[in-house]
Amino acid sequence: MIPWRIVAGIAAKDLRIERRSRTGLLTALLFALMVQLIVVFAHDGGSLPLHVYAPSVLWITVALASLLTLNRAFHLERTHAALDAILLAPVPRAALFWGKWLANVAFVALVIVVALPVWLIWFDVTPVPGLLLLLPVALCTVAGMTAVGTVFSAMAVRTRVGEMLLPVMLLPFFIPPVYFASQATLQLLIERPFAAAALEAWRWVRLLLLFDIAFLTMAHMLFPAVVDE
Amino acid sequence: MTLDPAAAERQLRRGRGVTLFGLAALAALFVVALRFTPPERYQGLAQKIFYVHPPAAYAMQLAFVLMGVASILYLLLKDERFDCFAEASAEVGLLFGGIVVLTGPLWGKPIWGTWWTWEDPRLGFTIIQLLLAAGYFALRSAVRDPVERARFSAVMGVMALLLVPFNHLTVYLFASQHPRPVVLAPERPKAPWEMLRVFFGGLLTFTILYLGFVMQRYGIAVRHALREERIDA
């Protein structure tokens, strides 16, 4: 059984640190905007209009911003050996995982909420009813990516080249969720009634959910092996 | 300590023997495939790659799956031998993967008209597997403490094993959305027995080579582990 009170406590602690310093969140936000800006100017300006790239850009941005966030997740614990203190406390290892995971998801979700309107404007996305479902799709995507990411970040932070190592380990795991999410987005962006868009997108979202369940379960089981001495 | 230096040296010696046998089988495979197997009507000599390329892909897959299984066993039993085996199998898998991505384009260019295509799911699948294995080694090389390295890489190995079905799903769905750009559309081969038996010979040859390589590499991994222990002590 997972003690949810402890989970909430750990997540709240991480988010409180973020709220007080704000550097992490601000950096991630700026980063998410700059990735999109880079795409605008990398675009050849000719053959294809920008909105064609909209779904791809969105999920590339989410993937990269998640990487940045995850790199940070356990750096917080590294200063003053804070992680050792948590491990000494009667906190089940699995609860530590769920707490860190929850904080990471919340953090990335916050970045997405700010980046989405900018994306809508910059990439000339037609306002269709399906867009209302973009945030739930994003949550399903980030849930799975962050499940793997939280475990890997706890490992990477203990190595000498952590920041460089994490993307190399993690990006192959982002391929299925990014693909499913892009396809779901494609379905949501087609102009049609809300229910029709939702139904088509669901075909991809259920794959996302499958990924989430599989990797959250696995992360829950493997995380203790990462932090235990 | 569970690592036995004498057993490692024995594996190394036996592995050398098995590898020599495998290499001889490979030479025989080349001769039989080129000299004593009928040429394919449309693809001609290019088709000969089928006696090497799919067997190498199969050996790669075998190597990575066994790496994942060894990772699970390590986490359950904490026996260092499984870590050494996982390392050995992953590296041998990387080698076979290299053979796959080198021989594939050699055939793809004349038959498909392109070195590489994302429309065939197997290409994407192979390259993702290879990059995963490369990431696995990046992790291994970055962790200094042997016990921590074994635990971390086992965790990644298990995750990678779980990723395999999702990769399959992704690349197949991705490929099914596009038409296949094929110059000479090669149908799923209904190969005659003269070709099939050579193909099965190829599978057997690469299994032997896998065993030979992995036994030797395992022996080397144990040697390294023992040396690390001595340095620490």
Tens of pLDDT, residue by residue over B95-140, are: 999 999 999 888 888 888 888 888 888 888 899 999 999 999 999 9
Give the global pTM.
Answer: 0.90
Structure tokens at A98: 């769920």
B152 touches chain A (CB under 8 A): yes
For residues A76 and A100, the model is more confident at A100
Is B163–A176 a contact, with Cβ atoms under 8 angstroms apart? yes
CA dihedral B111, B114, B119, B123 (to 10 degrees): 90
B225/chain A closest Cα distance in angstroms: 19
Is A215–B167 a contact, with Cβ atoms under 8 angstroms apart? no
Contacts of residue B169 in chain A, CB cutoff 8 Å? 176, 207
Contacts of residue A222 in chain B, CB cutoff 8 Å? 75, 155, 158-159
Please tell me the distance from the alpha carbon of residue B70 to that of residue B89, in angstroms, as a whole number: 9
Structure tokens at A152: 């890997």
At residue B183, the pLDDT reads 47
Residue partners of A184: CB distance under 8 A and separation at least 6:
A137, A201, A204, A205, A208
Query: In the 8-state DSSP scheme, what is residue B40?
Result: B
Residue partners of B34: CB distance under 8 A and separation at least 6:
B48
ipTM over 0.95: no
Q: What is the pLDDT of residues A197-226, one digit of tens each?
A: 899 999 999 999 999 999 999 999 999 999
Structure tokens at B87: 């390392």
Confidence of residue A178 (pLDDT cuts 50, 70, 90): very high
B159 touches chain A (CB under 8 A): yes
What helix, strand, coil percent values describe chain B, rounded to 5?
80, 0, 20
